[in-house]
């Protein structure tokens, strides 16, 4: 493995994180939070110094292989989280480091699962940093770094592949760098659009920033203990719409940008995604009618929760733990589905579900007509058998990892519902699960081992399993391999 290059990229990650910490520092100065300001200044300085020393000399050999790319991405995320957790401990807001790491990983992986029972006690700087980590993690740190480093050959594609969700990551334009720039441009434009919309709807500026970062990265950290419940209906609707918008494959927006409307409308994944969203809202709205006073509120609550769960954001306007079983079950199913590939959300992803569905149908057809030869198609193009296979393998690993995690977490002695949904909510980067892990509760009560497992689940969910498993395989680190 090219350790020098991996080290170089990790130093770059630190450098970028150092610069990003300037924002919470600014917030601390604005709100005159002296202690937080000093903490963020120290962290920023250390990150920058280490980062600049590490990137002072460019490695001669910048070739990457797939393994190097995957390992780099995993390590980058680990480093990012371990360092990002330090300010929480230093300010004394989250005294235990493991909890701070849980909170930070939850931020960067856009999960939004919290160990804090009283969010409002946090300083503005820390609240901002928590939410801002969603925004960074949403599009990806490495994609950001791809805009900075010279890309000479396609080997850097592995960096993007490891970080971008979806079974078949493709570029918009031939150059990787231009693709990364385009992705971030789209990301920023939609983010700003939401901010403007929320400000027009008279949300306070600080809440607007934090909640927009949470929506854009499909994260889910709120700034109030009540979550989103106390905001006005209009503000909730804006968040709902933007949550669903950030769950759409960014290729769709790229097509819109190029005025290629036909290709945009042809995207099967986006159509299925929107269909599932609408259908779920309808069923849940009918199912929960009676809980809320008016039809408008019923629909709003249903839409908000569906948008929040399917995009794996994890905001909540109500404790859906108290909803009827059918509605809860629909939400749990949505947890696993996730939004489109190439969006900022987690979960299995709609495109994978479509591929699995179609390949299962093909197998059935093959039983009836053993001699048929057919291909799995998507958007009118035949899919590579390799892609189909990789999706199937992904699902298998997903299930295995899921059950192992549930086994370990169940040692806490909580209810069945808690264990399963806690793993589901972290593995799919959502945040709140049901029961003890529900929207009104938090993850503080889990034992440290469970927290570590859930941290790994969050990372595995964000990076789509393979890079994380690769990192834990001893053979990866053997010199001669």
Partner 1 sequence: MQIIIVGCGKVGRHLAMQLAQEGHSVTVIDTNGTVLKKVTEIYDVMGVTGNGTSIGTLKDAGLADTDLLIAVTQSDEVNILCCVMARSGNKCRTIARVRDPIYLTEQSFFLKELGISMVINPERAVAREMAALLRLPSAVEIDTFNKGRIEMLSFRVPDNSPLIGKKLRELPASISSSVLFCVAERENEVIIPDGDFITQKGDLISVITPPTTGRDFFRRIGLTVGEVRDVMIVGGGEIGYYLTKRLLKDGIKVKIVEKDRERCEELCDLVPEATILYGDGADMNLLREEHLDRMDAFVAVTNMDEENIILSLFAKDKVFSKVITKISHSELGEVIRNMDLDSVVNPMEICAETILTYARAMNNSMGSDIEALYLLREGRVEAMEFIAGEKFAGNGIPLQQLKLKKNLLIAGITRNGNFFIPRGADAINAGDSVIIVSVHKGFETLDDILER
Chain positions contacting partner 1, by CB under 8 A: 66, 151-158, 170-171, 173-176, 178, 381, 384, 386
Cβ atoms 277, 338 nearer than 8 A: no
Give the count of beta carbons closer than 10 Å to the beta carbon of residue 107.
33
For partner 1, the closer of residues 154 and 324 by Cβ is 154
For partner 1, the closer of residues 76 and 176 by Cβ is 176
Choose among 262, 242, 145: nearest CA to 197: 242
For partner 1, the closer of residues 12 and 157 by Cβ is 157
Nearest 5°: the CA angle 20, 21, 23 is 80
Report in angstroms how near the CB of residue 377 gets to partner 1 at its nearest.
13
Nearest 5°: the CA angle 297, 135, 299 is 10
Report in angstroms how near the CB of residue 426 gets to partner 1 at its nearest.
32
For partner 1, the closer of residues 169 and 452 by Cβ is 169
For partner 1, the closer of residues 255 and 443 by Cβ is 255
Reported in sequence order, the residue ranges of 284-431 that DSSP labels E, i.e. its strands, are 377-378, 381-382
Report in angstroms how near the CB of residue 429 gets to partner 1 at its nearest.
27
Report in angstroms how near the CB of residue 64 gets to partner 1 at its nearest.
11
Residues 6 or more apart from 477 whose CB is under 8 A from it?
none
For partner 1, the closer of residues 177 and 362 by Cβ is 177
For partner 1, the closer of residues 27 and 157 by Cβ is 157
Report in angstroms how near the CB of residue 267 gets to partner 1 at its nearest.
14
Residues 6 or more apart from 92 whose CB is under 8 A from it?
none
Report in angstroms how near the CB of residue 180 gets to partner 1 at its nearest.
11
* CA distances from residue 285 to 232, 305, 330, 338, 440 in whole angstroms, order as listed: 19, 11, 12, 20, 21
How does 217-230 read in b/e, with b if 16+ C-beta sit within 10 Å? bbbbbbbeeebbbe
For partner 1, the closer of residues 156 and 358 by Cβ is 156
Cβ atoms 125, 35 nearer than 8 A: no
Residues in the chain, how many?
Answer: 481
Report in angstroms how near the CB of residue 354 gets to partner 1 at its nearest.
19
Report in angstroms how near the CB of residue 265 gets to partner 1 at its nearest.
16
* SS3 of residue 339 by DSSP: coil
């Amino acid at each position: 493995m090219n350790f020098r290059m991996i080290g170089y990229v990790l130093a770059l990650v630190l450098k970028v994180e150092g610069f990003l910490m300037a924002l919470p520092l600014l917030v601390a100065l604005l709100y005159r939070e002296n202690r937080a300001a000093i903490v963020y200044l120290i962290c920023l300085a250390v990150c920058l110094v280490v980062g600049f020393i590490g990137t002072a000399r460019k490695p001669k050999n910048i070739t990457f292989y797939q393994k190097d790319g995957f390992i780099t991405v995993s390590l980058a995320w680990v480093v990012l989280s371990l360092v990002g957790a330090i300010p929480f401990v230093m300010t004394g807001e989250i005294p235990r480091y493991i909890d701070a790491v849980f909170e930070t990983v939850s931020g960067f992986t856009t999960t939004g699962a919290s160990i804090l029972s009283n969010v409002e006690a946090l300083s503005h700087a820390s609240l901002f940093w928590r939410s801002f980590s969603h925004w960074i993690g949403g599009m990806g740190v490495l994609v950001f770094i791809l805009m900075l480093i010279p890309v000479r050959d396609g080997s850097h594609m592995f960096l993007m592949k490891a970080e971008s969700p979806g079974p078949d990551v493709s570029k918009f334009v031939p150059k990787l760098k231009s693709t990364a720039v385009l992705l971030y441009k789209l990301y920023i434009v939609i983010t700003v659009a939401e901010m403007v919309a929320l400000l027009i709807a008279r949300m306070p500026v600080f809440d607007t920033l934090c909640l927009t970062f949470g929506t854009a990265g499909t994260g889910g950290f709120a700034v109030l203990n009540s979550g989103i419940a106390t905001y006005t209906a209009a503000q909730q609707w804006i968040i709902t719409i933007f949550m669903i918008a950030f769950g759409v494959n960014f290729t769709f927006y790229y097509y819109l940008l190029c005025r290629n409307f036909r290709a945009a409308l042809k995207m099967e994944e986006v159509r299925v995604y929107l269909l599932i969203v609408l259908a779920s809202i309808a069923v849940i709205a009918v199912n929960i009618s009676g809980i809320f006073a008016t039809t408008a509120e019923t629909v709003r609550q249903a839409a908000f929760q569906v948008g929040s769960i399917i995009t794996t954001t994890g905001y909540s306007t109500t404790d859906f733990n108290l909803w009827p079983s059918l509605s809860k079950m629909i939400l749990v199913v949505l947890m696993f589905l996730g939004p489109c590939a190439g969006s900022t959300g987690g979960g299995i992803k709609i495109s994978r579900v479509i591929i699995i569905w179609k390949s299962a149908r093909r197998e059935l057809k093959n039983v009836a007509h053993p001699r048929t030869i057919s291909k799995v198609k998507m958007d009118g193009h035949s899919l590579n058998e390799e892609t189909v296979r990789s999706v199937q393998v992904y699902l298998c690993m997903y299930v295995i990892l899921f059950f192992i995690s549930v086994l370990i977490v169940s040692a806490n002695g909580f209810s069945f519902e808690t264990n399963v949904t806690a793993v589901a909510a972290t593995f799919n980067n959502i945040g709140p699960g049901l029961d003890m892990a529900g929207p009104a509760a938090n993850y503080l009560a889990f034992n440290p081992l469970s927290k570590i497992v859930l941290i790994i689940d969050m990372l595995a969910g964000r990076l789509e399993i393979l890079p994380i498993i690769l990192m834990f395989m001893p053979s990866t680190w053997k010199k001669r391999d």
